[in-house]
Amino acid sequence: MRTRISAIRIVLLAIILPGIASANAQLTTDFYIKSCPSVQSIVRNGMMVAVRNETRMAASILRLFFHDCFVQGCDASILLDDTSTMQGEKTAFPNANSVRGFEVVDAIKASVEQSCPGVVSCADILALAARDAVVLSGGPFWNVRLGRRDSLTASYSLANSNLPAPSEDIDTLISKFAAQGLSVSDLVTLSGAHTIGQSRCVNFRDRLYDYDGSAQPDSTLSAAYLAQLQNVCPSSGGDDNLAPLELTTPTRFDNIYYKNLLNGKGLLTSDQELFSSNQTSTVSVVQNYAASSRSFFTNFPTSMIAMGNISPLTGSNGEVRINCRVIN
Ligand code: HEM
């Protein structure tokens, strides 16, 4: 009798355990080594073409990955178009008229589908493309963990609530990152992505004319930088006028973003808060990166991997979309 119960137990465990293992499946760098060995070079080529056509695309793709990961995890939910029954993330406040690069992901996905149909998720393509964006801009390389599946849904409301806003103070930024399992140090490190790319005037106008209802500019802005920004961004109108997030080397991935923060030259409130809020935990990291490009280049990959690990979808909770804009 006892042997029979043990045998039943073993059979049951054999059925249940693999299920548990796949639900907790870890991402791995060699996930497509057999099923799609060319995926890395296809994505890299796609990104090279895109960045050659438009330098800013590196920044746009890097941001797209961030905005994907903070909403239901890195599951390509941001890539889904709205349907009659689902309002997706593209029209949420932080994304509308702002996130870009969808056509680039489509083109890369189409090339990947030609070589390995139905194998590589859109979420993994975005993770690889974001890494390549950094490398193509002169930043550090890292091996991307892969094996994510694509979501069956998107969330307009989570996109509005989870993504940080440019006007937010340090405590709010810290808590929005903590809600995703990311540390204070990850916040400072990942904000260094603002070493490349552009922002619209509407996202920093308040700092130039009427900060916090004071009818005065933000006092943490350097005077010369303030004058420069007022030229680009009038007190009314010109909402879509662009300024570089890092004014010194705006297309180069380097540590100058942090040096600029020390001099009152962060573009968004959320940038300058990392230094001017006098929060010791963030100020020390800013100072470290401003002094040491090597330290920033060592830690940026670690924080990107941590962000890329947010709630990966595995098993039947997700799928490999054929077209990144629609579920299969
Ligand atoms: C800490 C909180 C953050 C806030 C409040 C924030 C906010 C913003 C805003 C408002 C813009 C300009 C959008 C526009 O004007 O249309 C922007 C651009 C950008 N963000 Fe962030 N961001 C944050 C963190 C991050 C992170 C973690 C990354 C990536 C790891 C990132 C990457 C970028 C890039 C590369 C751009 C330029 C995009 C382009 O030129 O198309 N940001 N961000």
Does residue 105 sit in the same domain as residue 53?
A: yes
> Residue 48's domain spans which residues?
39-163+308-317
Give the tens place of pLDDT for each residue, 66-78.
999 999 999 999 9
Give the tens place of pLDDT for each residue, 240-250.
999 999 999 99
**What's the number of domains the chain is made of?**
2
Does residue 127 sit in the same domain as residue 178?
A: no
Known catalytic residue: 67?
yes
CATH number of the domain residue 288 falls in: 1.10.420.10
Give the tens place of pLDDT for each residue, 27-57.
999 999 999 999 999 999 999 999 999 999 9
Could you tell me which residues come within 8 angstroms of residue 213 by beta carbon, excluding any fewer than 6 positions away?
Answer: none
Is 249 annotated in a binding site? The answer is yes
Strand, coil or helix: what is 20?
A: helix
CA of 1 to the centre of ligand 1 (A): 64
pLDDT at 20: 34
Residue closest via CA to ligand 1's atom 3 equals 164
* Nearest-angstrom CA–CA distance, 219 and 223: 9
Residue 111 — very low, low, confident or very high, per pLDDT cuts 50/70/90? very high
Does residue 312 sit in the same domain as residue 290?
A: no
Strand, coil or helix: what is 251?
A: coil
Does residue 189 sit in the same domain as residue 291?
A: yes
3-state secondary structure labels for all residues of 264-311: CCCCCHHHHHHHHCCCHHHHHHHHHHHHCHHHHHHHHHHHHHHHHCCC
Q: What sign does the CA torsion over 135, 140, 143, 145 have? A: negative
Ligand 1: nearest atom to the Cα of 60: 41
- Site to probe by mutation for ligand 1, drawn from 51, 54, 62, 63 as the one with most ligand atoms within 8 Å of Cβ, is 63
Q: Is the pLDDT of residue 219 over 60?
A: yes
Catalytic residue selected from 50, 63, 66, 67 = 67
- Site to probe by mutation for ligand 1, drawn from 199, 240, 258, 310 as the one with most ligand atoms within 8 Å of Cβ, is 199
Q: CA distances (Å), 202 to each of 99, 164, 290, 328, in order?
A: 14, 15, 28, 37
CA of 24 to the centre of ligand 1 (A): 30
Does residue 129 sit in the same domain as residue 191?
A: no
Ligand 1: nearest atom to the Cα of 268: 10
Could you tell me which residues come within 8 angstroms of residue 305 by beta carbon, excluding any fewer than 6 positions away?
Answer: 142, 144, 145
For the Cβ of 241 lying below 6 angstroms from any atom of ligand 1, the answer is no
Q: Find where tokens 């949420």 sit.
A: 92
Is 73 annotated in a binding site? The answer is yes
Q: Which helix (H) or strand (E) holds 22?
A: helix 2-23
Q: Is the pLDDT of residue 7 over 90?
A: no
CA of 4 to the centre of ligand 1 (A): 61
CATH number of the domain residue 114 falls in: 1.10.520.10
Is 167 annotated in a binding site? The answer is no
Residue closest via CA to ligand 1's atom 6 equals 166
Residue 25 — very low, low, confident or very high, per pLDDT cuts 50/70/90? low
CA of 283 to the centre of ligand 1 (A): 20
Report, as an integer, the average pLDDT of 55-63: 99
Average confidence score pLDDT of the chain: 93
Strand, coil or helix: what is 183?
A: coil
Could you tell me which residues come within 8 angstroms of residue 161 by beta carbon, excluding any fewer than 6 positions away?
Answer: none
Q: CA distances (Å), 53 to each of 10, 58, 241, in order?
A: 58, 11, 21
Does residue 127 sit in the same domain as residue 252?
A: no
Could you tell me which residues come within 8 angstroms of residue 164 by beta carbon, excluding any fewer than 6 positions away?
Answer: 94, 172, 173, 176, 177, 270
